[in-house]
Chains A and B, each alone.
Chain A
Amino acid sequence: MQEITSISALELANKIKRREISVAEVVKAQLEIIYKREPIYNSYITVMEKEALSQALIVQKRINDKELDDSPLAGVTVAVKDNICTKDTRTTCASKILRDFIPSYDATVIEKLKNAGLIIIGKTNLDEFAMGDSTRTSYFGETKNPWNIKHTPGGSSGGSASAVAAEEAHVSLGTDTGGSIRQPSAYCGLVGFKPTYGAVSRFGLVPFASSLDQIGPISRNVSDCTALLEIISGHDPKDSTTVGQKSFLYRQYLIDDIKGMKIGVPKPFFEENMEEDVRKHFIMALETFKDMGAQVEIFNFEEVKYCVQVYQVISCAEAFSNLSRYDGVKFGHRADEYANLVEVYKKSRGEGFGYEVKRRIMLGAFVLSKGNYETYYNKARKIRRLICEAYDKAFERYDIILSPETLKTAPPLTEKKSSSPKKSTSLTLNSSVNLAGLPAASIPCGKDKNGMPIGLQIVGKRLGEKDIIRAAYAFEQARPCLRPDLI
């Protein structure tokens, strides 16, 4: 039984295809593990037992009818971050304000998962509206790191990372606005992929910062991640910001050969105040790439110095506006008592949003207000353009850019809560990638002295997913992923 949930997603899909195991058996085994481990990890906000069991029968029939021969992951379970809309299943964004919200529509990625025969097993925990790096701001309590339950799994896609690490799902979907897929993947020893902005439809993703948000896969190995990325990518007529290409074929780049690949390492990232173990493993990783025949070069990249401030201004501005619709009028939490319309707004929002969300809404309103717009928001947009141009220039010389995914490994849960960007160790490394709309993955590259996993970030050029996949796959062949000891 344990084996069903432990083996790779692609391997399991093959077993299902060969009729060695039924989809229902997979789902039942998965549910059993979930119910056993959830009291410890709290990866899920909603476990979709009934839906998953009935889907299992439908998918089995489609497999039997040979409708899903081309799907690499038919019958495999997938966990979905709870800010992605699922028809008839509540989608809470880990917020009190949406705790009972049931969408009448599926996000485009959900439709794609269903078409490809994946079984959605549940909705995972996150920081409220994906604002945070630890799941601590969730209305439904924090998630624990399966490598050590005294540590955070990271965030905001902490539940999606923890679920896959704890084998409560084979793969999962997270969302990434400033590192929210990559950082928890690094903290949980997983492969996490933030695609090029526009490569995956955002229709049905409850927006945090629309110009930065992207949905992406989290998995236990590069091949599973690539297969899932292939399934969810492509143009969507319902999202005007998606790229024109209808679909992408990524699995052909799972080849163990990166000879001649040009790798850049930005000096500012390298100089950041990182933990000794992280530095050590990062240098070892660079050596591994050199050994495989890649050229590694350190280059100046001063433009990223301001990326955290720019990220704060732009993400909060967009969040302020995106979160205006939660006003207690049509759906979501409404205060029990109010004297007039203004009170409906004030009380419903005051009661419904948590502290961190309110802080960011206030910040967003501030940077957009008359008199501040030029000083903050418009200036941030200008610097954003400079960051994009700097990346464009760097990618004239390099195929990929490498950095540690985070400066530290997953901190203990007892560490004081802090939302100050300076202390958010991964934000510098991650947010510039979102600002430039580039693809980036985090892959495991070792463990620190306490046995906590370390992540390596690979950034590619716009629509350069294939370069990231090649580099990640080759690295994984040289340095196979490690697994935590699970209960």
Chain B
Amino acid sequence: MNQYETVIGLEVHVELSTESKIFCGCSTKFGGSPNSNICPVCVGMPGAMPVLNKKVVEYALAAAIALDCKINKNIIFDRKNYFYPDLPKGFQISQFYLPIAENGKITINTENGVKIIGIREIHIEEDAGKLVHDTAGNRSFIDFNRAGIPLIEIVSKPDIRSAAEAVAYLEKLKMIMTYLGVSDCKMQEGSLRVDINLSVRKAGDNRLGTRTEIKNLNSFKAVLRAIESESKRQIELLKEGKEIIRETRRWDDSKNISIRMRTKEETQDYCYFIEPDLGPIEIFEDWIKEIKSSMPELRDEKIIRYQKEYKLSEYDARVLTSSKKIADLFEKTEDLCKMPKEVANWLMVEGMRVINEKGMDADELNVQPAGLSKLILMVEEGKINRTVAKEMFEKVFLENIDPEEYVKEHNLGLISDENMLRDLVQAVLDENPKSVSDYKSGKTKAFGFLVGQTMKAVKGQADPMLVNKILTELLNG
């Protein structure tokens, strides 16, 4: 296997999370009933005209800045002409001749250390509708809710060499997009879709081999398997002395194989030309500056800051920033209780445990920082013990309970009234005269027994330190 090298370039479609569509005012909300978010513009009725959503440009620019791209001075759109029922106008408005940004990069961590993957270009385009087939009725329907949802396509250079690198690249890309807030990157909803361009060559050969394209993968697992399978298929062909045909393939995840869709000869001529209904838009230097200054802090910056500002270890900083949701939760909670180490520990130990146990995605979390902060403060102030706190953490994490009210309701608080506790301890002493006399005769082990009896009597709801103190006073008094 080692004598062959796999060369991979990825095209990633990222749905931007703007409120409205790219060329009209329709909502981009996912999951509405079919054709509920449509208008004459996004279904391409005669005479309807596109008006560019400024937010789309700003999101694309933020992505371009985060990926270290060269930004072009003008935004020009082109029409990509082809027929398909989900394409309402008979053309897709995209950027072909001049993408919004070019020549960027992403740094990834691989088993051989840090590696830079080049970004060839980022361009803006509109999404198409969705076909729904009623196989029983031999009919098809079209849902245009998705038509006109803004996308950016991020095209990498052929710098990726393995399935693992591809996944590392995608994870990093997803992280950057979610950190920027330009996309939710929910793959199950199609917010992030991947096309793979793959070729193989003999190790040491500088020329690129004939490549194939595998279209529309919507999970990282599928990307991983598709790359492994296609790489193997191509190497086997070469070993048998056969030729690789330039073609587009479709990945069948259930069968774990890719299937030929069309060869290069069959590819369409899209007759690209400039979109006359959208004049060129100039990107002023000030506009880029404005976007830069309002851009959120990215993960790499956070990792450094967490170590400096919160005195956390690099490892802790990495874990806490592995999802923007967790990082945000950490920062907001810390801001309320001012105990970075405690917050970090709770999130990393208990938080990660809950996420793993429930098989959740950190991005799905909806925890109130106020609840978490209260919980941590209550432990620190000795109002609850750690066992109770751990039990409550899950409820704070998943159900957003108010810890103070919950403690009151379920009577979980520690007995903080010293006089009341003193009476309780006295009662324990009165019930255990033998232990008291044992202790007084020098058998110190009896002290431990008396602590245990007290804790039992208060059902654990007392600060053991305080119990110790009162016991010592009463026994020696």
Contact = CB atoms under 8 A, between A and B. Distances in A.
Interface in A200-241: 202-207, 209-211, 237-241
Given A241-B277, A368-B273, A370-B269, A104 B89 contact: no
Interface string A364-388: 0100111001000100000000000
A36 interface: no
Contacts of B276: 209-211, 241, 318
Contact of A325 (B90, B273, B278): B90
Interface string A90-108: 0101000010010111010
B181 interface: no
Most buried by A among B85, B88, B271: B271
A327 interface: yes
B51 A240 contact: yes
Interface in B60-87: 79, 81, 83, 85
Given A240-B278, A321-B81, A368-B271, A203 B50 contact: no
A365 B271 contact: yes
Contacts of A320: 81, 271
A107 B142 CA distance: 26
A318 B274 CA distance: 9
Contacts of A105: 40, 45, 47-48
B90 A324 contact: yes
B46 A98 contact: yes
A93 B47 CA distance: 11
Contacts of B269: 369-370
B81 A237 contact: no
Contacts of B272: 368, 373
Interface in A341-391: 341, 345, 365, 368-370, 373, 377
A47 interface: no
B208 interface: no
A205 B142 CA distance: 26
Interface residues of B, number: 28
A295 to B, nearest CB: 36
B34 to A, nearest CB: 14
Contacts of A202: 47, 49
Given A202-B49, A204-B47, A240 B277 contact: yes
A369 B268 CA distance: 10
A85 interface: yes
Contacts of B273: 317-318, 321, 368, 373, 377
Contacts of B220: none
A324 B51 CA distance: 20
Given A240-B277, A241-B277, A325 B47 contact: no
Interface of A: 84-85, 91, 93, 98, 101, 103-105, 107, 202-207, 209-211, 237-241, 317-318, 320-321, 323-325, 327, 329-331, 341, 345, 365, 368-370, 373, 377
Closest 8 CB pairs of A and B: A324-B90, A368-B271, A211-B276, A210-B276, A206-B46, A204-B47, A85-B47, A325-B90
24 contacts: A85-B46, A91-B46, A93-B46, A101-B46, A103-B47, A105-B47, A204-B47, A204-B48, A211-B276, A237-B51, A241-B277, A241-B278, A318-B276, A321-B271, A321-B273, A324-B91, A325-B46, A327-B85, A329-B85, A330-B142, A331-B45, A368-B272, A373-B271, A377-B273
